[in-house]
Amino acid sequence: MRKPIIAGNWKMNKTIAEALEFVNDVKDRVTTTEVDAVICAPFLALKDLKEATKGTNIKIGAQNMHFEESGAFTGEVAPAMLKEIGIDYVVIGHSERREYFNETDETVNKKVLKALEVGIDPILCCGETLEQREASQTKEVCKVQVEKGLENVSKEDLAKVVVAYEPIWAIGTGKTATAEDANDVIAYIREVIAGLYGELANDVRIQYGGSVKPANVSEIMSQSDIDGALVGGASLAANDYVELVNF
Ligand code: PEP
């Protein structure tokens, strides 16, 4: 059985004070142990969030990291820096990072491998643009992104990787894939992983992301292959986050 994982991606939102106000509001309402409830916050808030969520069911993730251990990479954050403060997850290869910060399948793969090496579970994002969808390239795009992202991931580490299928045209637009469409692509992504790892693919959690909100989360989560959601906008409001996690 794959444990559902609902992760909020706050993107570049919330100061430390706002982040703490949020967790203090939600922490006693996120009581389920049947779902992994995650908040992926800006770097500056991570340490305080880890401390504020100690003893609760909320896990904390980063939204990016560098793949090198240390060195002359001005402005970057190293894997060990996240590990030191107990970060549980790290989002890797979000489409905004691919689009605005030149992330490639190669750097995404290096980051996935490094996260696993230091003991942080990567959330590996994939998904097609509207143009690619209209050209019926959705599955091929996801196949390439997932195969390249997982290159050299060992069988032992595979189940620590969470894949997030996020059609770019559905991110922050209010448009969602239908639950059936999302399930179809996610089932295909599982087949791609099975092509690489056989039955171990059944242990990999695959999320859907793209305008998920309290009103549609239960329909999305009722699909056979969808194991969770990566949620941007709707994860910023405390009451919505609680509803999402308690889908
Ligand atoms: C995201 O940022 O990963 C995302 C899916 O955003 P939204 O839920 O706002 O579409």
Q: Is 126 in the pocket of ligand 1 (CB under 6 A)?
A: no
CATH superfamily of 5-245: Aldolase class I (3.20.20.70)
Mean pLDDT, the chain cut into blocks of 10 residues (247 residues total): 97 98 97 96 98 97 98 98 98 98 98 98 97 97 98 98 97 90 98 98 98 96 97 98 97
Residue 208 pLDDT: 97
Nearest to 179 by CA among 204, 150, 149, 210: 210
Instruction: Give, in order, the Cα–Cα distances in Å from 2 to each of 14, 24, 27, 120, 228.
Output: 31, 28, 23, 18, 10
- Please tell me what DSSP assigns to residue 77: -
Pocket test for ligand 1, best of 176, 230, 241, 244 (most atoms within 8 A of CB): 230
Instruction: Please count the other Cβ atoms lying within 10 Å of the Cβ belonging to residue 155.
Output: 10
Nearest to 62 by CA among 102, 25, 90, 94: 90
Give the integer Cα–Cα distance in Å for 103 and 93.
7
- In one letter, which amino acid is 189? I
Residue 1 pLDDT: 86
Q: Is 212 in the pocket of ligand 1 (CB under 6 A)?
A: yes
Atom of ligand 1 nearest to the CA of 171: 10
Every domain of the chain and the residues it spans: 5-245
Q: Is 230 in the pocket of ligand 1 (CB under 6 A)?
A: yes
ipTM: 0.97
